[in-house]
Amino acid sequence: MMWPHLAIRFTAIDAIDVIATSILTYYLLLLIRGTRAVQIMLGLFALIVILAVSNLLHLLVLASLMQYLLLGTAVTLPIIFQPELRRGLEQLGRGRLFVRDRGPDEEGAAQQVRIVAQAGFLLARQRSGALIVLEQQTGLREYVESGTALDARLSLELLTSIFTKGSPLHDGAAIVRDLTIEGAACFLPLSENTIAVGRHVGTRHRAAVGLTEQTDAVVVVVSEESGLVSVARAGRLSVPIDDEDRLRRVLAACIRPSRRNAKAEGSFLANLLNRIPRAQSPTEQFRT
């Protein structure tokens, strides 16, 4: 039996509407990919699921509580996503929102490791403290904006001159993205985990560990007092590294998995699967 009044008319305008909405949603997901906003969105989705289940089971008290909680969360969303909104509007103004950045090739990654390792030990011999941040999948734009934007090509001369004593940019971190120094004199969050950092380390080491607790960045730390070189990753600080070749191997082991994931651009599903945490290999694990 046919019900003419229930017939759905799907026109070309509806198809354009669906396609445009899908494309916009896709690029919005790309915008927050690799940032802490992903975990926040998952938390919001969990709250919505709890609300739907409570309404389905007629749990009135829980449903009312979840409604007020979601209402309060919706009010604070512009504050929570302020860095992502600002970055998205900036990219939209520059026409870069719909352009996907490509990760560097293996040669570019090797060049980045070589320059950073050379700069680290050159600064260590000069007893110049340094914080060199290697950006991975998580964007560090909010930390770049806390310092001085450079957008300069990575080189040994520029990197060492930034941290030379007396330089106006030496107090803070230099953030390196691929083969570009995005910014210098950047402020990083300090870690409160005295077990992972140690009670007798300085502010540089606490800042390095603090950033790696919140992002997937890799940070090279040069101590001004002792001239020792360490690497921070995943909220942990390595033992001092006394050889440039060993530092190269450690950095290569840290950034190579992310570089491989960055090259998996064939599908959005592959990028989502690459966000699943995996077990660390022995070469990637640090001892505190």
Residue bearing tokens 């209402």: 71
CA 210 to chain CA mean position, Å: 13
Q: Which pairs with CB-CB distance under 8 Å and at least 24 residues apart come from 119-124?
A: 119/156, 119/159, 119/160, 120/220, 120/222, 120/229, 120/244, 120/247, 121/229, 121/244, 121/247, 122/156, 122/160, 123/160, 123/163, 123/222, 124/222, 124/223, 124/227, 124/228, 124/229
Task: Give CA–CA dist 74/72, Å, rounded.
Answer: 5
Instruction: Report pLDDT for 83.
Output: 64
- pLDDT of 13 above 50: yes
- pLDDT of 282 above 70: no
**pLDDT category, 138, cuts 50, 70, 90?**
confident
Burial of 76 per CB tally in 10 Å (0-12, 13-18, 19+): exposed
**Higher per-residue confidence, 267 vs 237:** 237
Sequence letter at residue 218: V
Residues 6+ apart with CB under 8 A from 21: none
- pLDDT of 258 above 50: no
β-strands 229-233, 173-177: how paired? Answer: unpaired
Residue bearing tokens 């509007």: 89
Instruction: Report pLDDT for 104.
Output: 53
SS3 149: strand
Q: Mean of the per-residue pLDDT values for the chain?
A: 78
**pLDDT category, 163, cuts 50, 70, 90?**
very high
Domains and CATH numbers, the chain: 10-94 (no CATH), 106-272 (3.40.1700.10)
- pLDDT of 20 above 80: yes
pLDDT digits (tens, 9 = 90+) for 56-108: 988 888 888 888 888 888 787 777 776 667 666 656 665 555 554 544 567 88
Identity of the highest mean pLDDT range in 7-11, 123-127, 272-276:
123-127
**Higher per-residue confidence, 111 vs 31:** 111
Cβ-based neighbour number of residue 288 at 10 Å: 13
Element (H, E) at 205: helix 203-214
Instruction: Report pLDDT for 284.
Output: 40
**pLDDT category, 281, cuts 50, 70, 90?**
very low
Instruction: Report pLDDT for 130.
Output: 92
Average pLDDT over residues 190-201: 67
Average pLDDT over residues 232-240: 87
